[in-house]
Structures are given as structure tokens and as C-alpha cells.
Structure 1
Amino acid sequence: MTERDAVITTRGLVKRYGRTRAVDGIDLDVRSGDVYGFLGANGSGKTTTVRMLLGLVLPTQGEVEVLGRRMPRGGREVLPRVGALIEGPAFAGHLSGRENLSLLDASGPGGTRRTRRRRIGDVLEQVGLGGVDRRPVRAYSLGMRQRLGLAGALLRRPELLVLDEPTNGLDPQGIAEIRDLLLELHRVGTTVFLSSHLLAEIEQMATRVGVLDRGRLVLQEELAVLTAPTGATVVTTPDPAAARAVLDGRVLTEDGHRLLVTAADPAEVNARLVAAGVPVTGLAVHRPTLEEVVLAAASTSADRVERPGQGAPR
């Protein structure tokens, strides 16, 4: 990874609730220009971590830096430069979306009172609520509330967006629209920290990922590195038995008509099978999916934690 400014850094971050370690000594490294996918199952500690990043929860031990300032001490300077959506947006139900955003707005890095109406209109358009009427927010659907929460996070044109499950309650079209919006924000220079359990969505957006499993950071790496070619080839054939015989021990796994073969060059595999009269209907360089990477990391972590004699995680 080329050297870029640190945007979020944690060192040995721990949060205990009684005897339970919700977050267990994690070292996050988020750099300027990242779309950082923060992944983990529900209950893995993601939201607790996000709340500590923003100074909403105090860590039991460890350090947090956001935009070069220690948190929560630097919150007054840092938070106006950060847009955040955590655990679903909270709004005044009797007010309209525009009125709620007007309450959220204030003079500062995002602009002044004179530009408030325009900026509110702009962010409502960005999140697909430009045509919303003056209904009170209590009449909004869950998806509309989520969009409004994202609009609130964008009001001040933040340098850093910290989002916790931002597509919660959205239909597939809404999810795709939010994905496109986040990618566009990234293209114009916004760093995005995106906490989610939706691996397929993160795989389409992230440049780097961190994987949290039972409060521990078990993986942190560039997505391109994690999903790089493995040196194997995926072969699809209606006659897997014949293909297995021709390839003579090079078949790693078999799933119906799909074989995973030890071979970095699909053309070489194809030539060998065709020469032997084995029909081939598909060939591809094998790249692990993000789901496969995350499951492998979590499995390795479980083996380490549960190894006899090691005891429960502290």
C-alpha cells in the first residue's frame, strides 16, 4: 500500500462490559482514500467499535485517533469534519425530513445559514428524496428514514463518512443507488468507513477490509490482495469424471460439473482436455470471493480460540 495519511487509527482498543470483551484489542488502520469495509456478523463488536471511534462510548483501554486527533478529546475539532450514520437515524417524528435536516445543520465546514436551503436540497437529491413532500418523518418507511439519515451525514460535505449498516431497510434498487452514491463520493475524495455484514455489497465497493470475529480483528488487508488469483483454474464440464481422469490428481475440489484444478493457465488445461475429447463449457482463473476469505479468517480464529488448553478469549 502506498503511503497515505492516516484517517482512523486504533491501538489495542478494548471495550469490556462486565466480564465480556465486546472489542478485544483491535488495531485499525484506515487511510485517506479508502473505502474501508468493516465486516463481521451481528454481535461481533462492529457497532461498539464505531461508537468508540466517534467518542460516543469510552474505551476500556487503548487509543483512538480520527483525522489525526485523539478521541474523544479531539471531538470538538474532528466531528464537524465527519459524517456519521450509526444504528439507524433518530429524528423528530412530527417534523418533515427537510425540517429535521435544518435542525441538524449549523454553521461550520459545511456552509452557512444562507446556503442551508440549497445544501439540504442537494443532499436530499443525492439520497433519492428530492421529491419528498412535507409528511412528518413518523410516516416514512424504514428505507426512507435510512436515506434521510444518510442525507444528514452528508450535510457538511465531510472528509470522512462513518456508516453503520447504511442500506438497512432498503430494497435492491435502493441498495444499488446508495452503493453508486458512496462510490461517487469516494471518487471526489471522501474516505468511507463502512460497517456491514453484507459481504456481496462490500465486495463491490471496498478498497480495503477489516474482519471482526467475536471482538477480535482477524483480518485487515487490501481487497485486491485478498481476492487475487490463487494459481488455480475453474473448469466447467458435463463430464467431470473424464476430466478428473485426464488431469491426473490435479483436481482440488469437485462441485457438480465444476472442478477446481491446480493450474495457473486456463489455456493449458483447456488444450489438454480438448485433446482428450473432454467437452469444456467454462474456464476461469480462480479468485476467492470475499465471502470465502471472511469465512476462512473466522474459521482460523475459531480454531485458535478453541484449541484445547488455550481457554476462552479474554
Structure 2
Amino acid sequence: MISTRGLVKRYGRIRAVDGIDLDVRAGDVYGFLGANGSGKTTTVRMLLGLVLPTAGEVALLGERMPRAARRVLPRVGALIEGPAHHGHLSGRANLALLDAAGPGGSRRTRTRRVQEVLEQVGLGGVDRRPVRAYSLGMRQRLGLAGALLRRPELLVLDEPTNGLDPQGISEVRELLLDLHRGGTTVFLSSHLLAEVEQLCTRVGVLDRGHLVLQEELATLTAPTGATVVHTPAADRVRAVLDGRVLAVEGSRVVVRGADPAEVNALLVGAGVPVTGLALQRPTLEEVVLAAAGSSPDRVEGAR
């Protein structure tokens, strides 16, 4: 669905994007992660032909961009750097204009399609107020509605939950999952690690223009082969499981072994109280920090 080879964008001496090879496959919900200034939005703009690369190749839906933009873009929905609207018009009027301006929009079904996407994003009951009176969250929903007008095969989103409250974020997450179940491939640029961890199937991590990680999320967060034990008697765990204790942090003990039942049986049999037990798995935040570095100005943690 999206493929880049050696993609580079320079601004003078600065390499905003430095030789990245993206691989987004049909059926992915792909999380494109990175701190502000890492090159995410520049990359997204190059994917859509809004910015020309300095070097490298871009293909969307199997066709070279921007050469094939007229054939490809009607099959792609996009929300980049926040929605742009005519502030004096209503949301419905803005969507009708957007549909009329794009290729392939049917005038006969326009009213119905506009109503459908407004309902999808939670604006079905919107009144005739001008967009300039909308909240930031409402404008973001309207931008998402615009991206959905043509029922795209590929949805490219840059920070789609910007300005939304927790309920709005949850609703957008469910909407994207529903679209994915219906066959839409989603490419989501974000810095919200917790959201990406709940939503995405694959992730790519950009750090200062370099793609430092690209992998299935399930692989990145797979069990490590250790068990986490929670107990008020951490010192006794070390005595019972001599040589298997990897780390002790207060009441949390990490023990070598991927069979929690076996670890529990040994500890309980020795009279050690166990209040919690689970396989150890790295969080997406831990994976990203390891790949991109732990400096807070480079990677934003989960919220």
C-alpha cells in the first residue's frame, strides 16, 4: 500500500528525512511514531505528493508518486497537519465543496455521502453554525469526515486525535478499527504511544529523520521469557529461586522462566505470599525509547 526506497528530503544542509524505507502492507494499521521534529509530517507530505523528495522513490497502491497522483489520490483519504476549512461555511457545506472539487465525486449521491461521514465521526446532528464557531475537536472530526468521503482504500492520518477529549479519542479509535475491519488500510502518524499500542498492528519509529525501527507490534511486545512476581516478601523470592532472579524493584521481582504457574507453585510451596503474577512483556514506550534514545526532547512517552 505504501512503499518508499531511500526517501530523502533536504532543506539546505538539513536532512529532515534521511533515506527511509517504509513498508506498509494491505490490511495494516501502521503507527508512524516519532518526536516532534523527527520528520514524520515531512514524510507524510512526500507520500501524498505535497512535497517533492530530494531523492528516493515513493509508491502508493502500487503506483509511483507523484507521477500517478491523479489515479491514486481518489482512492486515498488524508488528514494532514490539521484540517483546512472555509470558516464562514457550515461543516456540511465544507464537505460538499470538498467532494465537488475532487475527482470522481457524484453530485447525485453527495448529500447522502456527506451525511454518512458526518454521522461516522460523531457530527451527525451538527447545525448550520459556521466552522469558525467549532471547537478544535469538532474541526478535527470534520477533517476526518473529509478524509472518509470517498470510502478510501488507504487512510493517511497525521495526529488525527489532536484536540479531542478522552471520549473523542476513544470514539476515533473505534471508528478506525471499524474501518480497518471493513478493509481499509490505515497509516497513522502520532506521538501518543498508548493510543498506537491499542490500535496498530505494525509500527515504524522515526528518529531525527532516520527510520530506526519497523516491525509487527506483536513481535515487539512479545514475552521476554521472564515472569514478573508481585510479593511483599521479595527477599524470600531470591532465597527460594536462587540464580533465577533477574531484578528486584520493591515488591516487583523479575524471575527467569516463561511459565508463571511453575514459578507460582515453587513460591507458594515455600510459603512465599504472591499477590500478582504475569509474563514480562516490554511496553511500546520501552521499545521506542530503546530504539530512538531516552532523551525527553526526542521521544514523547505514553499519555
Write out aligned runs for 1:93-112 (5 A).
93-106=87-100, 111-112=105-106
Give 1:99 shift.
0.5
Give 1:107 shift.
8.2
Structure 1: runs of 5+ lacking an equivalent: 1-6, 302-314
Residue number in structure 2 paired with 1:51: 45
1:40 aligns with one of 34, 44, 51? 34
Residue number in structure 1 paired with 2:119: 125
Q: Deviations over 1:171-211 (max 9, x none)?
A: 00000000000000000000000000001101111111111
- d(CA) in 2 for partners of 1:178, 1:109: 26
Moved more, 150-159 or 222-231: 222-231
Q: Deviations over 1:141-168 (max 9, x none)?
A: 0000000000000001111000000000
**Contact 1:81 1:109 (8 Å CA) reproduced:** no
Residue number in structure 1 paired with 2:171: 177
2:85 aligns with one of 81, 91, 113? 91
Residue number in structure 1 paired with 2:261: 267
Residue number in structure 2 paired with 1:233: 227
**Contact 1:23 1:216 (8 Å CA) reproduced:** yes
Matched position secondary structure for 1:287: coil
Moved more, 151-160 or 290-299: 290-299
Q: Deviations over 1:228-270 (max 9, x none)?
A: 1111101000111111222213222222211111111111111
Q: Deviations over 1:213-242 (max 9, x none)?
A: 111001111111111111110100011111
Matched position secondary structure for 2:132: helix
**Contact 1:162 1:193 (8 Å CA) reproduced:** yes
Give 1:111 shift.
4.7
Residue number in structure 2 paired with 1:304: none
Write out aligned runs for 1:24-39 (5 A).
24-39=18-33
**Contact 1:234 1:284 (8 Å CA) reproduced:** yes
Closer, same or farther: CA 279–110 of 1 in aligned 2, 3 Å = farther
Matched position secondary structure for 1:124: helix
Normalising by the residue count of structure 2, what TM-score does the alignment of the two structures yield?
0.95
**Contact 1:110 1:155 (8 Å CA) reproduced:** no
- d(CA) in 1 for partners of 2:248, 2:128: 57
1:247 aligns with one of 227, 238, 241? 241
1:208 aligns with one of 193, 202, 208? 202
- d(CA) in 1 for partners of 2:126, 2:294: 48
Query: Match for 1:179: what amino acid?
Result: R
Is it true that 1:153 corresponds to 2:147 in the alignment?
A: yes
Is it true that 1:17 corresponds to 2:11 in the alignment?
A: yes
Give 1:300 shift.
9.5
**Contact 1:250 1:261 (8 Å CA) reproduced:** yes
Residue number in structure 2 paired with 1:284: 278
Moved more, 208-217 or 246-255: 246-255
Structure 2: runs of 5+ lacking an equivalent: 296-303
Write out aligned runs for 1:191-202 (5 A).
191-202=185-196
Normalising by the residue count of structure 1, what TM-score does the alignment of the two structures yield?
0.91
Number of aligned positions between the proteins: 295
Identity %: 83
Q: CA RMSD in A?
A: 1.5
Matched position secondary structure for 1:33: coil
Query: Match for 1:57: what amino acid?
Result: V
- d(CA) in 2 for partners of 1:252, 1:17: 47
1:76 aligns with one of 70, 83, 87? 70
Give 1:94 shift.
0.4
- d(CA) in 2 for partners of 1:149, 1:107: 15
- d(CA) in 1 for partners of 2:238, 2:193: 32
Matched position secondary structure for 1:114: coil
- d(CA) in 2 for partners of 1:91, 1:269: 59
- d(CA) in 1 for partners of 2:227, 2:80: 41
Closer, same or farther: CA 109–245 of 1 in aligned 2, 3 Å = farther
Query: Match for 1:257: what amino acid?
Result: S
Write out aligned runs for 1:55-70 (5 A).
55-70=49-64
Matched position secondary structure for 1:210: strand
Closer, same or farther: CA 57–111 of 1 in aligned 2, 3 Å = closer
